[in-house]
Amino acid sequence: MVARADTIFHHEERGSSCCPHPSPPPWDPAEDLRCITTTFRYLQTSGWYWGSISAGEAREALLTKSEGTFLVRDSSHPQYMLALSVKTRCGPTSVRIEYSKGCFWLDSISPGLPHLQSFPDVISLIQHYTGSSHTAQDQTCSDIHPQMKPAAKDSGVRLKLKTPLHKLEVFPSLQHLTRLTINRHTNCLEQLPLPKPLLCYLQGYPFSI
């Protein structure tokens, strides 16, 4: 399933310069292992990572849920690691999650751009599109439009990411729910007057979903 972004991007006009842009440093493949390991550690903690279920099983799990309910699962495509499955107004659908050189983004068709905004881990990507840390205007600019039927005209259906679907066997603990609540109300965990072990626990999952 492919997503299309209707986001408008404003490019800063630059003056002419006789100095060439420096080449980026070579990518260290060891960073791939670090980034991927970190993402899967966060996903396992989240409770809404469903592992190696199929697209059909994800559809069945989301079929009776409200619009905006979502989960992350392993992609069935050999060239992708993960996929986002979400209930839309037209039913459940899935969008592949791309990865390259420490960045994750949604597989998309975006006018004038190679891909959508990228993130250092999948939880940050999902949190961005839930709008949990954005204004209503920002959320409008971040809408995702998957093509439900590529042959149909105007077949894009807006994805609304609202509520993660937790697996029953890994439903979040009271401690984790408390951590999510604290994270929703502060961006400065290190400034909280808490014991170091508790601060380390909060920093182990610095997200609000």
Note whether residue 208 is domain-resident: yes
130 in the same domain as 201? no
pLDDT(149) > 70: no
| 98/180 same-domain check | no
In a domain, 4, yes or no: no
Same domain, 180 and 152: no
Q: What percent of the chain has pLDDT over 90?
A: 48
Query: 100 and 51: one domain?
Result: yes
Q: Residues 146, 206: one domain?
A: no
Which tens digit of pLDDT belongs to each residue from 94-126?
999 999 999 999 987 655 455 578 999 999 999
What CATH number should be reported for the domain holding residue 186? 1.10.750.20
pLDDT at 136: 35
Among 25-34, 65-74, 133-142, name the one with the lowest average pLDDT.
Answer: 133-142
pLDDT above 50 for 183 = yes
For residues 125-134, give the mean pLDDT: 76
- pLDDT of residue 79 exceeding 80: yes
Check whether residue 139 and residue 64 sit in a common domain. Answer: yes
Could you please report the per-residue DSSP string of the chain? --EEE----PPPP----SSPPPPPPPP-HHHHHHHHHHHHHHHHHHS-B--S--HHHHHHHHTTSPTTEEEEEE-SSTT-SEEEEEEETTEEEEEEEEEETTEEEE-EEBTTBSSS--BSSHHHHHHHHHTTTS-HHHHHHT-EEEBSSTTSTT-B--B---EE---GGGPPPHHHHHHHHHHHH-S-GGGS---HHHHHHHHTS----
The pTM of the full predicted model, rounded to 2 decimals, is 0.74
State yes or no: pLDDT of 16 exceeds 80: no
Give the residue with greater pLDDT, 178 vs 145: 178
Q: Does residue 12 lie in a domain region?
A: no
Check whether residue 143 and residue 203 sit in a common domain: no
User: Is 152 in the same domain as 185?
Assistant: no
> Are 134 and 176 part of one and the same domain?
no
In-domain check, residue 19 = no
CATH code of residue 136: 3.30.505.10
Same domain, 125 and 74: yes
Are both 136 and 177 inside the same structural domain? Answer: no
Q: Based on the fold, state whether residues 137 and 194 are members of the same structural domain.
A: no
Mean pLDDT of the region 189-197: 83
The total of structural domains in the chain comes to 2
Domain-embedded: residue 21: no
As a whole number, mean pLDDT of residues 160-173 equals 87
Domain range for residue 204? 172-209
